[in-house]
Structures are given as C-alpha cells and as structure tokens.
Structure 1
Amino acid sequence: MKKVWLNRYPADVPTEINPDRYQSLVDMFEQSVARYADQPAFVNMGEVMTFRKLEERSRAFAAYLQQGLGLKKGDRVALMMPNLLQYPVALFGILRAGMIVVNVNPLYTPRELEHQLNDSGASAIVIVSNFAHTLEKVVDKTAVQHVILTRMGDQLSTAKGTVVNFVVKYIKRLVPKYHLPDAISFRSALHNGYRMQYVKPELVPEDLAFLQYTGGTTGVAKGAMLTHRNMLANLEQVNATYGPLLHPGKELVVTALPLYHIFALTINCLLFIELGGQNLLITNPRDIPGLVKELAKYPFTAIT
C-alpha cells in the first residue's frame, strides 16, 4: 500500500519511529530524573519539586505499596485527584512498583466511581480529601482494600501546606464530611516508604501501564488497556512531530488540563518528563483570575 499521507509530512518529521528506545516508562523516567536531577520538574502553588525530589518521593511511595501494603506487580491502583504535586509522585510510584495506574475523574458521581473501581479491579486508591465523601458511599461495594488519603497542601512546605489545608477545609469549605476510618495518610505512606526497601520489578514493554477510561458519553466508561510500549510509542510520535520545536531541559509547560485525562497525561506529564521540562500544575483552571496570575509569574513556553 502506498503511504500517500507521508507526502503531507513536514520535511523535518521522520516517517518512522523507534518505540523500543526504552524498555518501559520506568526506564524512561529513571533516565530522565538522573539526567535532570537538580532541575525543577513540577511547580504547584509556588512549591517547586525537582526531578531529584520526584525520584526520591516516588521511590518511597513505590516501596510503601510493595512492602507496606503488600501489593504485587500487576495490581491496579486508582488515582483520583486534580493537578497537585501528589499526582506525579503517586503516578510514578505506582508505575515503579510494577502496578497499573487507573486514573479516575474526581468529579465522578458515586455510581460512576463504583463502576470504574469494580470494572478495573482496583485494590487500592489514592484520593484527595475533597472527594473522599464520594468514595465513602461506594468503597464497601468494591474490591478496594486500601485507601490512601491526601489533602491539597500535603506536598507543600509545612507552613504553606498548613495554611492551604486550613483554608480549603474551614474557610472555603471544599471538603465535605466523610468517614473512612481505615484510610492511610499520603504523608504517612511516604514517611514509612522512605524506611522500606524498594524492589525494582522486571518489566517488559507488553506489561500494562494504565487502564485509562473513556468519557462514558455513549454508555458506561470503558477501560483502554495501555501497555508501556503503547505509551512510549505515543511519546516517540510526539517527539518526532514537535521535537524540532522543543529544547530539552529548557521548556516550561503550563498544565491546565487535568493530568488524569489521556492528552495531558501523555503530553504534559510523560513527554515533558522525558524532555526534562518544568511543569506548572494548575489545580483549578476554572479560576480564571488565579490562572492569569500564575501565567504572569512564569516564562512559559507551552500551554494546554
């Protein structure tokens, strides 16, 4: 078959990619955090997390999943939160433990959440306290055995985090009452994980990395099975197309789109990790005045 579409490719875009440049997303991540260790990886609410800190925290979280909770390679771990520093820590912790990420829209109704947790077979969930009341209504109807609970300011400095958590809960009243007595705090998980041994799993490109759910607009949401090779191939495609425009180690992307959606997950999170870029996380993009203030503070080079 004649590949007529290649005639439309710009001259500097290759016609073939190599999806096997890395063995897994973990391989890509570990090479990037070593290469760009002291550069900022994520910024949120004025707090900077370097690639080195991301490596250390995600390693601790992976160790806690393995040793503290006894989860195994291939177990499903749900991730339900907006754009916060906790997201990349948990995301790469799950992947580094050899487990499968199940991204969950935090705006889900109890019915939608119950369906996704049961359909995915998630045995654990990492969730921000603002939406814990939704989980409380359905958790007993699922196979979830471990709930890891975080608050908005838990990855900020002690002083700033205390203020943010107080304002979010008591001033803005954004945390409805909930009762999850067996939940583990995200801070405790990291604290304990630092003292536990991380065991790097043997991953092959065909291992599942994500169960990424559709929007459910034409019926119930369906989980797309995305392997490490699937996601790496996507990264190579984007790199092939936009690589000439991007400068490794020098980009700053504004992430207003939620990372739990596949576009921002692939482009903003994974691609800019591979490029050594800085990622400005916007927790509430609907707050337009707040978004504009953030844009004015940073010399960003890309935005979604």
Structure 2
Amino acid sequence: MQNFSVPADRPWVKTYADNGLDINVKVPDGVNSLLDSFEQNFAKHGNKVALTCMGASITYRELDTYSRQIASYLQSLGLVKGDKVAVMMPNILQYPIAMMGIIRAGLTLVNVNPLYTPHELEHQLNDSGAKALFIVENFAHTFEKVKNKGQVKHVIVASIGDMMGLKGILVNLVVRHVKKMVPSWNIPNAVSFKDALTAVSASRYVRPELSLDDIAVLQYTGGTTGVAKGAMLTHKNLVINVEQCMTFVTKVFPADEDLTGKYIATALPLYHIFSFTVSMLGLKMGFSLLLITNARDFDALTKDFAKYRPVFFPAVNTLFNALAHHEGFKNLDHTNLRLSLGGGMSVLPSTAEAWEKLTGTYIVEGYGLSETSPVATINPPGSYTGKIGIPFPNTDIVLLDDDGKEVAMGEAGEIAIKGPQVMAGYYNRPDETEKTMTKDGYFKTGDIGVMDEQGFVKIVDRKKDMILVSGFNVYPNEVEEVITAHAKVLECGVIGVPDEHSGELVKVYVVKKDDSLTEKEVIAWAKENLTGYKRPKYVEFINELPKSNVGKILRKDLRKLEEDKKA
C-alpha cells in the first residue's frame, strides 16, 4: 500500500500552506506494524501514567508487561497470526491491555459493543470467525444466550476491578452486590482475566512477523448497505491515521512538549473507531488516558474533570451539549482544556457556541468513517466553521454525481475519499467492497457534500438511508429485519427523524399482521433484539407502505410523510 500524493491543483493545498501544515506525512522510521509503535511508546514514556480509571492507574511500563502477558497467553492457546479475537468491554483498564495483547500476539482485534443483544453479538462473532472473546462479567449473560457461538472456543471474563489492586475488591463488591450490575451467568470453561494475565510468563512471548499490510482490526459497520460487516483496517491504516492526526494536534500540543500528567478525557467508548484512534494518538504522544466507563453518568464524569483537569477532550455533539448544560460541569474551572475535538456526528452551531462560552475552547470538528480508520477531514485549530474541514494529509476528496463523475466547484456531490487510511475492504465481502470503491481507489461514503474554494467541505445530505444517533450508525435494513421477525408484524419501514439532543432518532412505520399488535409490544421486541441506540423511539401503524414498482420500500416517501406533518 503506497501513500497517495494529493494533486497540486486541489484547493486545500494552499489552505495547508497558509496554516503552516504539512500536506504529506509518512509512516515513522522503524515502524513496520503497530507492534513497533507500541514498543516505541513503552520505551519512550516508561514510568509515566498511561491509563487512569476510577482512581487506579497503570504506567506505560506496566502496560507493556501486562499486554505481553496477554499476548503470551493467547499464543499458548494455539492461536496463530490472523486469527480473530473479539473484545466486548466498556472503557476499563482491561480494554487497552487486551487490545494490545491481541495485536502483539499477531492476531486481529474484533471490536464489539458491550451493549449488544445476543442477536447482534451472534452475527458479529460468526461473521468474523472469532476464536476467542474477552468480555466483562456484566455482559457475560449476553454471550451465554447466543445460540450459535460459532468458532469461539476461549472466553476470558473480566471483572471491573481486576486491575485496581485492593480498591478493585471493593469496586467488584459494589458492582456485583450493591448495584447488582452483574446478572448471573454460566459459561463452561471460561477463564478469568486475572488468571489469563498470570497463566503464562511474558518471557514466553514470541514476537510475530507482521507487516503494515496485515489486518490489525475488524471494525464492524453497516457501510452503505446496512448489513453489518467488518471493515478491514490494516496496521498501516491505523499507524498513518495517527500520523495524520498529529499534523493538526501538534499545533495545540507541540511535539517537544512534556505531556506527563496531562490527560485526555476518554469518555467515548474505545470500541468506537473514533475513540480507538484518538487513544492511540494519545499513547504515542505521551498523554495519560482518563478512561471514563460510563459517559452518561454526568455527575461522575464531572468529578473526574474536576480531579484530573483534562487538556484534551474528544466527544460527540450530544456529549458536548449535555455537559455544557450540566450545572456541576458549568461550575468547573476549564482553563486547563486546550483542545476539544468533535466527531461521529455534526457539531451543531448552538452546541459550539455554548461550549466556547463555557470553556473558552472551540470545538474542532472532523469527519470520518470506520472505513477510513476513521478520520478523513478536519478543521485547522481555530474558530468553529460549521463544516467538516479540509482533507487530511495525503488524502484526496472528490465529489461525484450519480454517474460517478466529478461535479463542478460549489455543486453538491457524493463525498469519495482516497488515502492511506482507507480500509483494505470488507471482510469476506468482495462484492460489497466493489460497490463502495471506485475503479481508481476512492471510497464512496454515501454522504453528500459541497466544497468551497479553500477546500472546506460541508455535508448537506445523506445519499444512503443511514440514521445517525448520537454519533452511532443505525441502518434501517437491520432494524426492519428485527421488527419484521415479530409474529404480529407484516412489514415495516424505518427512517430517522430529527432530534435536538441526539441528532436523529429511529422511527418505524409498521403494517400489522395481527390487529392486536400494540406499540408497547413493538418497543419490547426491539429492546430484546437491538441495542439501545438502534431501538425505535417512535412507532406508527400504517395500512400500507409506499413502494416502488418492484416492491422496494420507499423510505424517501416515509420521510416526506414526516415532513408533511410539520407543514
């Protein structure tokens, strides 16, 4: 995979020069895989704090040892280069240890949302062919309920307090017996995370031969079709995306700055590629990652901000907005905060204004997808623009019409991206890969944008039917498949409706098979089979769905029904 050079006539080339930014980056010397990056970080930052969670901390040196121990354990199971290992955990200390252990063993990480239902988990485990699973005990019952466990032969179960020393004993007691957050479960031959950590000496670790073109992560996404599939992210995709981020972040945190004791508030889940890549950026630069396990607990999050006073905060619009209006958070001293990075969904002008007024920092908005590792565009640090920014270094963006031809400057077209951070394709789905890639190597995003004369892009519409709920992709096909599996549902159509808090919410139009079907039954069925953000918040019964001549449900007509109601 070669770096792509941006054509000299692209409008953002001058914008780079005007802002003193380097439009070309490369893989650092001596880095032939993520293993080299990890090892360089451990050697450089040593006894600095790498991770902090619930008051417990781990240094870079300890992270080195623990992740090698996990790598040794996985190798002792007979797993070999390229085998898939899933991780289903929230932001706790065990996630980075497991993630690095998997990659250091030469295996491929499969990120899994810990809030998935058995139905969703089953699909991802079977599709990826995962042979092992790291899971936190709070969600072990979910895996137990999976009917077809596929190739998963090894299950490692973590407790929240595993890596917290004596404090962890108290944490586990509270989680299990006071808050009762751990439903009973029974997984034969499951191994505890602590036992896996100590089962095999780190000295038995065998460093695998890896290249930049090897697959490091399977990041599941609906792509443009809604069928959940794994975007194959190579070692190079992730290494280079961190370097691309560095071009902009070092304008706020110079490369020679000592970042000891300076925190990135990691509230977005690490299984989400935005948070995943920013965390790797943070570890490269020598930040400490403040892992926030439950970002919805605003009181606890506020206490963490008060104690650790983070300098860097990546988040989505909904989180920025919620905190900007939280009484406790508003009373904090935010003078330490230097960079607020917005991604995952559009940052609304009202949110940007409230955040700037409160903290004195602009939200620097970027844009990307799982298929682009994820960042493809960003705004240079400065004022809020309401746009997704200019293309990253070594990244070209073209706007295409329905015939795949470039549109004129100022006209709307589908955003297509080419660069070294673009995925290797969808796992075991060459047909889907072909649908989303042009013949000359551009990834078609399904988003419609307009570019100005300085190269800044603004998203104006979405070509695909994807719904964006608080930065998470929801695909109507998947929701429709689940709802229509209900015995009383004849058929249904799913669309997104605007919401001031989460951007969009899911609405389902249902044609009944049985007249006794109620809204409550539909909601309960969705709750059983879909994770929270995918569940319809609105149910409307309809006698007939609008369809094309060939019987395809016309979601655009359902959206028009919604618009007509507001007229």
Q: Does 1:230 align with 2:237?
A: yes
1:238, distance to aligned residue in structure 2 (A): 0.3
The structure that has the greater radius of gyration is: 2
What is the CA distance between 1:142 and its match in structure 2?
1.4
Paired position in structure 1 for 2:308: 298
Are 1:283 and 2:293 matched, yes or no? yes
Choose which of 129, 134, 150 in structure 2 pairs with 1:126: 134
Q: Which has the higher contact order (CA 8 A, sep 6+)?
A: 1
Partner of 1:114 in structure 2? 122
Question: Are residue 151 (structure 1) and residue 162 (structure 2) matched?
Answer: no
Residue 112 of structure 2 is aligned to residue 90 of structure 1: no
Contact 1:64-1:196 within 8 A present in 2 as well: no
- Please say if residues 84 and 131 of structure 2, whose CA atoms lie closer than 8 Å, have aligned partners that are also in contact: yes
Instruction: Tell me, in whole angstroms, the C-alpha distance in 2 between the residues paired with 1:245 and 1:17.
Output: 18
SS of structure 1 residue aligned to 2:204: coil
Residue 75 of structure 1 is matched in structure 2 by 83
Residue matched to 1:239: 246
Deviation above 3 Å: which 4+ runs of structure 1?
215-218, 247-251
Q: 2:186 aligns with which of 179, 185, 189?
A: 179
Check whether the contact 2:50–2:288 (CA below 8 A) recurs between aligned residues: yes
* Cα contact 2:83–2:107 (8 A) shared by 1: yes
1:48 and 2:62 correspond: no
* SS of residue in 2 equivalent to 1:166: helix
Shift in Å at residue 218 of structure 1?
Answer: 5.3
Q: CA RMSD in A?
A: 1.5
1:153 is paired with a residue whose SS is: coil
Paired letter, 1:231: L
Task: Give the Cα separation in 2 of the matches to 1:44 and 1:285.
Answer: 13
Identity of aligned residues (%): 50
* Deviation readout 1:157-195 (Å, 9 max, x if unpaired): 1x2111111111111111111110210111001111226
Normalised by the length of structure 2, the TM-score is 0.52
Aligned partners of 2:84 and 2:109 also within 8 Å: yes
Q: CA deviation at 1:138?
A: 1.2
Structure 2 unmatched ranges of 5 or more: 1-6, 315-567
1:162 aligns with 169
Amino acid at match of 1:128: V
> How far apart are the structure 1 equivalents of 2:282 and 2:190?
32
Q: TM-score, normalised by structure 1?
A: 0.95
Change (3 A) 1:244 1:216: closer
Deviations 1:209-228 (A, max 9, x none): 00001168952322100000
Mind listing any 5+ residue stretches in structure 1 that lack a counterpart?
A: none
User: Does residue 1:193 correspond to 2:193, yes or no?
Assistant: no
Provide the residue aligned with 1:259 in structure 2: 270
AA aligned opposite 1:84: I
Assess if the C-alpha contact under 8 Å between 1:36 and 1:249 holds in 2. Answer: no
CA offsets, 1:111-132, max 9 Å, x none?
A: 1100000111100000000000
Q: By percentage of residues, which structure has more helix?
A: 1
Instruction: Give the CA deviation at 1:140.
Output: 4.3
Higher strand share: 2
1:3-56 per-residue CA deviation (whole Å, 9 max, x = no partner) reads 222122252210111135421111011011011111000000100100000000
